[in-house]
Amino acid sequence: MALPSGTQQIQHLPIKIVGGNHFGRYPKISIEQTFNMIISDETLIDYSGYKNVLTLAEDATGRGAYVSSIRDIIIAVVGNTVYKISFIAGDLVSVPVGVLATSTGQVFIAENNANQIAITDYVNLYIYNYGTEDFFTSNAGGPLGFPFPTTGAPYVNPGFVSFQNGRFIIALTNTSTWILSDFNNGLSWPADAAHTGSLQTKPDFVQAAVPFPGRGNTLFVIGNNVIESWVDVGSAKFPYQKATSFNIDYGVINPSTISPLENFIVWLSINEQSGLAIMVTDGGSIRTISTDGINFKLGKLNNPENCTGFLFRQDGHLLYQFTFIEDNLSYVYDFTSQMFFTVTDEHLNYHIARDVVFFNNTYYFVSINDGNLYEFSTNFSYLQYAEDNIKQMPRIRITPPVRFPNNRYFVTKKLQFLMENGQPNNIQTFIHQGNVVAETIATESGIILATEDGDQIGTEEVISADDTIYQVASERILLSKSIDGGENFGSSINQDMNPTGKRRGLIEFQRLGMQNDLTYKIEFNGFGRFVVGDGIIEVYQ
C-alpha cells in the first residue's frame, strides 16, 4: 500500500487485515498471506479444524474415501485394508471388508446400481458387493479372484474409476485407453470395440474419465496434456461419441487432484508447453484461477506430481483444497471470495486431509499422515479447551507492505482493528513467591561449593519482597513486524483477549516504531474462535 506524500500531521490509513494470499514472486514485492482463516462478509473467520473420531489402523495412512448414499456407509481405504463405516446408535463403527494388494498410494472409488463398489489402485480392480459382503479382486486364480477382463488379454494399470449411465469407466494408466464395464456389472469387462475408447486429439496417456456434473451424458476424458469431451449417445457399436469441435489443451498432473462438483471441474493442470496451474471448466470454457504469485510458487516445487485435491462446501463457501505432500504445502481456493488461503496442520506443515466426504450431515476425511478418520468442521476451531484430540490451529495474517511513494521513513503511533471479544477465555493465575533468602549450594556430604576465589555458590536472591501475580489468557493476539520487505520479523508483543462477557471489540497496539517498509504479522492464538475486521494505522513523518 503506497502512502501519500505529505506533511508532519498524523494520518489515519487503512491496513488490510481482512484478505487472502496475494504474495508476489519475491518477498520484497509482498508476502501477504493468511493461514487457516477465510473471508466471510468482509470479515476474517476460522477455517475448519479437525478431530480424530475413529482409529482405523495403526502404522498406516489414508488412501481414499467414498460415501454410498444408497447404503448410507463410508468406504475408506487405509493402508491395504478396505473399511465399511456405519453410524450405529450414535457412534461410528468400522468393519474391514477387504484387502488390497498395495498398501500405499492414491486409490479411486466409484459405485453402480447393483450393490457394487469398485476400487482401483493402479495394480488391480476390486469389487465390493455390499449386498452379499463379497470382495473380489481382478487377480485371476485367487479364491475370490476373477479375470479382468473376462475375455481377451488382461488389462493393466487400472487407474481413475467413475460411473455413468449404468457402467463403470476405468482409465488404464500408461495407455491411451479407457474401458467400460458391462451394464451394472463390475465383474464383466468385455475386451471388444463396444467397451473400449481411446484418446484421439494428441498422442497422450489417459489419466481419468470424469462424468461432467450438471451436463447429463457428457464425459471428460483427461490425459496428461489434453482433455476430450465425449457424449453418451447410446450407440450399440460404442456408446460414446467424441465432440469434434471442442477440447481443452491442458491435461492433469495427477488424477487425484480432479474434483467435479455442481457445474464445473477443478484440477491441477499441465501440458507439454505449460507449467503447473489451477484450472476450472464449466464444460464450455476454461480459466486459470491461480495468481502470478501462486503460479511462481508452483513452478518452484520439487515434486509437484505428489499431490492431491478435493472440492467441498463449508458454511456456504465452495472450497478447493490441494496439497503438495513432498513439498509440504497446502492451499485452499474459495470460489465465493475468489481468493487463495494457506491451510496447515497444527505444526504449520501441510494439511493432512486426503479426501473429504459428507456423511450423516458431517464432513469426514482420511489422513495423509495416519490411519484415523477425522471429523472436519468449523466447530473445532472455537472450542475453549484442547479436549478430545482437538488441535489448536495456527491462525496468522500477514498484511501487504506499507510504503511511502518517496520511500521516506514514517512513525507508526498505533495499529487498531475491530474483532469479536468476550467469548470464553481461560484465564490462569500464576504466583511468583517473593522474600526468599538465598541459600548456599552443597554436595550430598555437606561440602559447600565455592569458586576458585573461595566465594561460596548460592541460589539467586529474589529482589522483590512481595509475591508477584501473573495472569495468562488462553486466547491471545501476537503482533510482530518486518521492516525489510518481509525477509525477517522481529519479536512479538502480545495482548490478551477480554475475559468472558467483556465485549469491547477494539484491539490496539501502541508505539510501533519507525520504518520505511512495514509488514505486520498478526497471530491469533487460542482454542476460541476469531472474528476479525479491517483496521487502521496512525502514522506521521
For residues 509 and 493, what is the distance between their CA atoms, to the nearest angstrom? 9
* 422: amino acid identity, one letter: G
Per DSSP, helices labelled H in 236-320 are 292-299
Rounded to whole angstroms, how far apart are CA atoms 426 and 475?
Answer: 7
- Strand 125-129, strand 218-223: pairing: unpaired
Task: Count CB-CB contacts under 10 A for residue 150.
Answer: 13
Name 501's Cβ contacts closer than 8 Å, sequence gap at least 6. 422
- According to the model, what pLDDT value does residue 140 have? 47
Stated pTM of the model = 0.85
Q: What is the pLDDT of residue 143?
A: 35
Residue 206: its pLDDT value, please?
A: 94
The structural domains of the chain, ordered by start, are 11-45+399-426+474-540 (2.60.120), 107-253+255-283 (2.130.10.10), 431-470 (no CATH)
Calpha distance 339→116 (Å, rounded): 39
Helix/strand/coil for 296: helix
Question: How far, CA to CA in Å, does 34 sit from each of 48, 220, 356, 400, 445?
Answer: 14, 34, 22, 11, 59
On the 0-12 / 13-18 / 19+ scale of CB atoms within 10 A, 71 is middle
Tell me how far apart the alpha carbons of residues 446 and 490 are, in angstroms, rounded to a whole number. 47
Region of 9 (left: φ > 0; alpha: ψ -120 to 50; beta: rest) is beta
List the pLDDT tens digit at each of the 541 positions of the chain: 655 555 568 889 899 999 999 988 888 889 999 999 999 999 999 998 888 899 999 899 999 999 998 889 999 999 999 999 999 988 999 999 999 999 999 999 999 999 999 999 998 899 999 989 989 888 644 333 444 544 444 456 899 999 999 999 999 988 899 999 999 999 888 888 899 999 988 888 999 999 998 788 999 999 999 999 999 999 889 999 998 888 888 899 999 999 988 888 999 998 777 788 899 998 888 888 888 888 888 889 999 999 999 999 888 899 999 999 999 999 999 999 999 999 999 899 999 999 999 999 999 999 999 999 999 888 776 443 445 556 678 999 999 999 988 889 999 999 999 998 867 666 665 555 555 545 555 555 555 555 665 555 555 554 455 555 555 567 889 999 999 988 899 999 988 877 777 777 889 999 999 999 999 999 998 877 899 999 999 998 8
CB 125 within 8 A of CB 101: no
**C-alpha triplet 244, 248, 251: angle, nearest 5°:** 130
Contacts of 472 (CB under 8 A, 6+ apart): 427, 428, 430, 496
Nine-digit cell at 441?
Answer: 549450594
State the pLDDT at residue 142.
Answer: 37
pLDDT at position 191: 81
Q: Which three cell numbers stand for residue 395?
A: 491462525
